[in-house]
Amino acid sequence: MSEIEQQPVAAGRVELKGKAATNVRWYIFVVVFLLVVINMVDRTALSIAMPSIAAEFSLGPAMQGLILSSFFWSYALMQIPGGMLIDRFGARSVITVSTLGWGIFQTIAGFTTGGISLLLTRIGLGAAEAPLFPAGAKLNSIWLSKRERARGAVFMDSGAPLGAAIGGVLISWLILTLGSWRLAFIVAGLVTILLGWLAWRYLRDNPSTHPGINATEMDIINEVGQPKSEATESEPTEILRRSIVSLVAGRAGWAMINFGLLTWGPSYLAQARNFNLKEMGGATFVIFLAGMLGSLASGFVADKMVAAGFKRSVVYKLLLGITGLGVAATFIALPHVSSPVAAVALLSATLFLLYFGSLYWSLPSILAPKSRVGVIGGTMNFAGSVSGIIVPILTGFILQWTGGSYGTVLGFFAGCAVVYVIATLTI
């Protein structure tokens, strides 16, 4: 039996007598959501600015791919250590230091003078951003009841496509308004540093220590007052090796597509579809906004199906399998579309379906004991990060070897979608 099946989820709303419950747990995730948004704005800023930077620094496709990939070198390297730090020191401290760090590196990037110095700032940015998602998974296990964790996971992860969408418009607008990609990077970095202060002010590692929470909300978090038939049973005490392998492979396949589009998507629009900077920013916004909607829809649909009596394992595998195959189909269709509007519509459908993969972020808190959620989340994200290292470089070389054939790249992404589906079905 799948490990997912071993952790039943209650349907319906908890009714508790007495004082109305506060909603601090959801405000916690609003803060995490905002951090994920700015995380992705800072991360995608380089992709938006790359055509301008490549012209200024005389960078070829292979070097562009290397710089785009460099973020993930340190991002991957710090995933498992970051998860261990989260389990040791708590999500609040790690998130605060992480946010301040990546804000500083984003600011420094605005002062670089060539490809090598820019690459070094991307390495620093990757190391600093690494702990955020595993820390969010840790907060998910601490602050939410098991029946709420799917919603918490997809809400957190929906900030990623929204950040990419906003980043496309915002960075394009800042570059056009300020007349400089450098000033755009500096502004983004300073805003990030301010959010680091917000994280320290509001986040807590233990719900009982938060000044805004009341006893009724604590009972909801601890699942007090639920009938035994609806209450979650015991916490998992171990996680099967097979589940870890499948989790890693599935996340890697998903991330090859996600980071491939994140790093090379704007260049595809500019080079294959002849979009100017303004059009590219607008199209990126629409495409990644569709991803956010897909992320939110995944949590809503999953909750409805579980409430209707479907097993959690059936729900996850059905949703992720169908949407993953849909992603493969859009990549196969895209080279045959000539209209720029139709291409943006297809890419929007791709991101909508792809971000049903946000459900993956509920898996560490479902499959692993609380003491290991951070490191399991880090391991899962490590797999995605390694994909983030590989795919920008590989895409750059594919384009260089094929004389700029994005059709070959899209076929490769379709293959990654198939790997994602097969691995997910074996969790």
- Check whether 276 has a pLDDT greater than 60: yes
CATH value at residue 154: 1.20.1250.20
Is residue 5 assigned to a domain? no
Q: What is the mean pLDDT of the chain?
A: 85
Structure tokens at 230: 């609806």
Higher pLDDT, 292 or 104: 104
Element (H, E) at 406: helix 406-424
In a domain, 3, yes or no: no
| 95 assigned to some structural domain | yes
Q: For the ranges 11-15, 80-84, 273-277, which has the lowest average pLDDT?
A: 11-15
- 4: pLDDT strictly greater than 50: no
Q: Residue 205 falls within a domain, yes or no?
A: yes
Q: What average pLDDT does range 122-131 have in this prediction?
A: 94
For 306-329, write each residue's pLDDT tens digit: 878 888 778 888 999 999 999 999
pLDDT of residue 277: 81
Backbone angles phi, psi at 290, to 5 degrees: -60, -35
Determine the average pLDDT of the residues in 338-356: 95
Does 242 reside within a domain? yes
Specify the higher pLDDT residue, 422 or 427.
422
Is the pLDDT assigned to residue 163 strictly greater than 50? yes
Domain annotation covers residue 122: yes
Compute the average pLDDT of residues 71-87: 87
pLDDT at residue 361 above 80? Answer: no
In a domain, 73, yes or no: yes
Instruction: Specify the pLDDT at position 76.
Output: 84
The total of structural domains in the chain comes to 1
Looking up tokens 């007349």 gives 179
Residue 1 has pLDDT above 60, yes or no: no
Question: What are the tens digits of pLDDT across the range 213-249?
Answer: 999 889 888 876 555 434 444 555 555 667 788 889 9
Cα separations in angstroms, 141 against 82, 113, 128, 200, 348 = 17, 43, 23, 19, 31
For the ranges 75-89, 248-262, 365-379, the lowest mean pLDDT is seen at 365-379
Q: Are 189 and 182 in contact, with CB atoms under 8 Å apart?
A: no
Angle at 322 between CA 359 and CA 137, to 5 degrees: 10
Give the model's pLDDT for residue 240: 60
Residue 113: give the domain boundaries: 21-424
pLDDT band per the 50, 70, 90 thresholds, residue 290: very high
pLDDT at 293 over 60: yes
- Split at pLDDT 50, 70, 90, the class of 10 is very low
Between 19 and 20, name the one with better pLDDT: 20
| Cβ neighbours around 71 below 10 Å, total | 29
pLDDT given for residue 235 in this prediction: 56
Whether the pTM exceeds 0.85: the reply is no
pLDDT of residue 230: 41
Contact 353, 323 (CB under 8 A): yes
pLDDT in the model for residue 8: 40
Which residue from 302, 294, 419 is spatially nearest to 366, judged by alpha carbons?
302
Residue, of 239 and 57, whose pLDDT is higher: 57
Which string of DSSP letters, residue by residue, matches 110-162? TT--SHHHHHHHHHHHHHHHTTHHHHHHHHHHHHS-GGGHHHHHHHHHHHHHH
Instruction: Report the share of the chain in percent with pLDDT over 70.
Output: 90
Give the angle subtended at the CA of 356 by the CAs of 354 and 362, to the nearest 5°. 130
**Nearest-angstrom CA–CA distance, 36 and 160:** 6
The two structure tokens encoding residue 234? 């015991």
In this model, does residue 352 exceed pLDDT 90? yes
- d(CA 424, CA 324) in angstroms, rounded, equals 9
| Confidence (pLDDT) at 370 | 65
CB 244 within 8 A of CB 131: no
* Contact (CB, 8 A) for 420 and 254: yes
Which one-letter DSSP state was computed for residue 222? T
- Structure-token match 């110095």, residue found: 117
117 within some domain: yes
Q: Residue holding tokens 């951090």?
A: 35
pLDDT at position 97:
96
| Residue 51 pLDDT > 50 | yes
- pLDDT of 126 higher than 90: yes
pLDDT of residue 405: 86
pLDDT value at 5 more than 60: no
Q: What is the pLDDT of residues 389-417, one digit of tens each?
A: 889 889 988 998 988 889 999 999 999 99
Between 366 and 258, whose confidence is greater? 258
